[in-house]
A and B are shown apart, each in its own frame.
Chain A
Amino acid sequence: MDEKVSEWVAAMRGAPDASRQLLAGWLGKQTHRFTITGLSRSGKSMLFTSLMTMLKYRTEAGYECLPLLTRLPTSLVDSMYMEPLPGFEMFPVDEHLAALESGKWPQATDTAYGFRLIVRLTEQGRFKRWLMPYSEVVFEFIDYPGEWVTDLPLLEKTYNQWSDSAWAQQSGGPQHRFSTRWREFIQDFDFEQEPTEARIAEVVSEYRAYLAEAKREGITMLQPGSFLLENDSLSLTSMGFSPLPSTVTSDPSHPWLKAFTANFSAFKKDWLAPLKDKVFREADKQIILIDVFEGLNHSREHLYQLKETLSHLAETFVYGESNWLSRTLLRREKISKVAFVGSKADSVPVSERDALLSLLTQLTEGARAKFGDKEVDFEHFLVSAIEATDEGEARNAVRYRNQHGDYVEASFEPFPKTLKDMESDTHYPVLDINVPKDFLPRILNSRGMDRLLQFLLG
C-alpha cells in the first residue's frame, strides 16, 4: 500500500477551536468507548486492523465492504481520521499491515496501544447544520496483550485465596498434565530456607516456566498472565510470587507466606490496579472476543475451562445501564451493551457455522449470568477479520494456503451441538493458515464486521 493508514486524513483536520469543540460536545458528538476483552491470540489486533482498514476504504474509496452497516451511512460520512488516545502509544496499524503484506501475521501484542477513530458525518437537520456542519462519531479502542486480562480477577482476592484456587485448578482440569513438573518442584523445595531474593527468583521462574508451558498447551486460565511478558513496570523481584503449598499458607507467620503476600500486594497495587484504570477503564460497550476454535483444537476440558475463564472475567466488569447523571457528572460508566464475538469464523466451513454459534452461546452462559438482572443488551456474532480461506468442494470443507505454501482442503466432521456432546478423545486441530497474498480484498470481504458495528452503534 502506498499510503499509511494512520496518516490518512489526519492532515485534513484543521484544529477546531475550543468553543466549537465544546458546542460539538453538546450537539453532535457521540463517543463510543469500547472495551475489548479477549484472551491472548483471540484475534484482537487483527480485528482492530481490519476494522480500521475497512472503514478507511469505505470512507475514502467508497468500497462497499460493510453492506449491513446502515448506522454510518456512506452518503453522510464526510471524512474520517485517527488519533492516538492520550496516554497510549498509537496502535501500530501500519506495522500490522506491513506484516500482512510480507506474508506474516501481526506480532503478538506486548504492551498497551490505544487509538481514537473519528468519523465525521455531515449534519442532516437544517437547524443543526446551521449551528454545526458536522457531527462526529468517536470510537475509542485499546489493544493490549491478552495475557493481561486474566489477571483482573486477582484484584478481588487475597494471596491465600488465590494460592488455594491456583492449586485447585492445577490439580484438576487440563492443566493437570502440564503442571507435574512444577508441582514436583514445589514438593521438593525446602521452604524452611529463608526467602532470599535468589530463592524467590528461582521459585518464580519455575512457576513462569509452568505458565508458559500451559499457554502453549491451550490453557486459558493463566494467572498471573502478566508474568509471561517482559514489562519495565513489572519487576518480578518485588512483585513476583507463585502459589505456595498449604503447609506454608496455613502458617500466618511463615516467612515465605509473608514474602509472597507482600509481593502479591505490590503486584496488585503497583501493577494491576493502575493497569485496570488505564487499559480496562470504564467503557459503555464491550466486545468479548472468543476463539472457540482454540478450545475445539484441544479438548472438551479446554472448552469447559474457557467457559469458566470467561465467567471469571465477566465478574471484573460493571454491567448495567448508566444514566446521564452518572455518565456526565460522575464520569462513571457501566457496560450496557455486550457483543460476544466468535473470532476467525473464516476458518470454519459454512456447514459448521451454526454449530459454532451455538457453542459460542454456551460458552458465554456463565459470563451472561454475571449480568444478573441488569439491563444489558447482548448478542452473539461470528466475525472474521480476514477471509483467509475459500469454500471447499463440499459445504463441510474449507481451503487455505498453509505455512508451507501448499493449498489445502480441510474437511470437517460435524461440530458437537453442545459442549457436553464433544467427545473427550477427539479434537479439531487448528488450521495452520498462512496470510493470503491478496490480503487486502480479503480483509474488505471479511464477514460479520458490519453486523457487529451495526449492533454496537445502535
Chain B
Amino acid sequence: MTESAYRSKVSQKTLEESQPEHAMPSRMAEENWQERPISGGLSWGKVALITGIASLLALLVYNAVSGLLADFERYPITSSVLGTLLGIFVLSVSIVILRELIAYRRVNRFIDSRQPLGALRELPTVADVDRALDSQASQFGRHSFAEHCYRHYQTLKRDDQSAKERVDLYQHHVQQPVQARASSVLKRESMTAGSLAFISPNALIQTLAVMWISLRTIRRMAQVYGLRPGTAGNWRLVNVLVQNIAAQSLFDLATDEVVNQISGTLSAKLMENSAEAVAAGALNVRLGKALIKLLR
C-alpha cells in the first residue's frame, strides 16, 4: 500500500475494557402527569357550590313565591333561611379566597427571575444555555407538569447540538407544552367562572365567586409550572385581578339596572345572569392570558 509513505496522524491503542452498550433513546412523554387535587380547599369548594346551588333554588322558590304573593308581606321564615344559607355561602367563599391568596404569591419569584428564551439564544455556548435553563427549571416544583417536561427534555440533549438548538429544544419540549397545559387549565377555570356567575343570586356573592375563581386560576396555573411560594406580590397580576373584579362589579350594576327597568321577573333575572356569566368567563380568560404572558 502506498499509504505507508504517509505519516499517520491518528494513534491507536487497545483498551482493556469492552465497548459500553447504548441505551434506547427516551420515549415520548406519556400523558401521565396528573394535576394533584387541591387538598382541603375541595371540601370548602363543595360547600360553596352546594350552598350556592341551594341559594339559587331557594331564591327561585322565593322569587316564585314572592311573584305569586307580590302584594303580601314577606314571610319572615323564608327570609331568615335564605339569609342563613347566604351567610354560609359567603363565609365559605371567603375562606377559599383566603387560601388562594396565599397560594397566589408563588407566581412572583418565577416571573422575576426567569430570562426570556430569546435572550438565551444569544448565549455563546451550550454550557451557558444549560446553566441558564437549569436555574430556571430549579424553580419548578416537584411533581409539577413543568418539571415532568423538563426531565423529558433532559433526555433529548445530544452532544452535537448548538446553543440555539438547545433553546429551541427547550421551547418545543418544555415551554410550549407547559403553556398549552396552562391554557387548557384556563379554559376550564373560565368555564367555572362563567357558571358560578350564572348561578350567583346577587352582586356580592358573584363578586366573591369571581374573585375566588380568579385566584384559583392563578393557583392552578402556578401548579402547572409547579412554582414554589414567593414573597412579594406581583403588581401586574394584582392589577389585572382588581380590574377584573371591578369590571365584573360594574357589569353587575349595569345589568341590575337593566333588570330593574324591565322589572324583576324570572326571565329577566336569567338573562342578567347569563350576561354576567359570559362576562365573568371572558374576564377570567383575560386574567389567565395575562398570567401566561407573564410566565412565558
Contact = CB atoms under 8 A, between A and B. Distances in A.
A410 B10 contact: yes
B14 A408 contact: yes
Interface in B1-44: 2-3, 5-15, 17-28, 30
A202 B54 CA distance: 106
Contacts of A299: 6
B12 A68 contact: no
B26 A64 contact: yes
Contacts of A451: 165
A188 interface: no
Interface stretch (B141-149, B153-161, B204-212, B219-227): B153-161
B278 interface: no
B19 A390 contact: yes
A134 B7 CA distance: 58
B168 interface: yes
A67 B22 contact: no
B126 to A, nearest CB: 12
A67 B169 contact: yes
A350 B161 CA distance: 12
Nearest to B22: A441
Contact of B15 (A399, A436, A440, A445): A399
B63 to A, nearest CB: 42
Interface residues of B, number: 39
B5 A447 contact: no
Given A399-B19, A428-B10, A63 B161 contact: no
Contacts of B23: 441
B236 interface: no
A426 B5 CA distance: 8
Nearest to A296: B9
Contact of A441 (B7, B24, B152, B158): B24
Given A68-B168, A353-B160, A448-B160, A412 B26 contact: no
A410 B11 contact: yes
A70 B177 CA distance: 13
A382 interface: yes
A428 B8 contact: yes
Contacts of A177: 2
B177 to A, nearest CB: 10
B74 interface: no
Contacts of B7: 425-427
Given A217-B2, A427-B3, A411 B8 contact: no
A408 B15 contact: yes
A436 B20 CA distance: 10
Nearest to B158: A447
A64 B28 contact: yes
B15, B20, B23, B168 pick with most chain A CB within 10 angstroms: B15
Contacts of B25: 63-65, 441, 444-445
Interface string B161-179: 1000100110011000000
Interface of B: 2-3, 5-15, 17-28, 30, 152, 155-161, 165, 168-169, 172-173
Given A67-B158, A409-B13, A448-B160, 11 more contacts: A68-B165, A177-B2, A401-B18, A427-B6, A427-B9, A436-B19, A437-B19, A437-B21, A438-B22, A441-B23, A441-B24
Interface of A: 61-65, 67-68, 70, 74, 177, 217, 297-299, 345, 350, 353, 382, 387, 390-391, 399-401, 406-413, 425-429, 431, 436-438, 440-442, 444-445, 447-448, 451
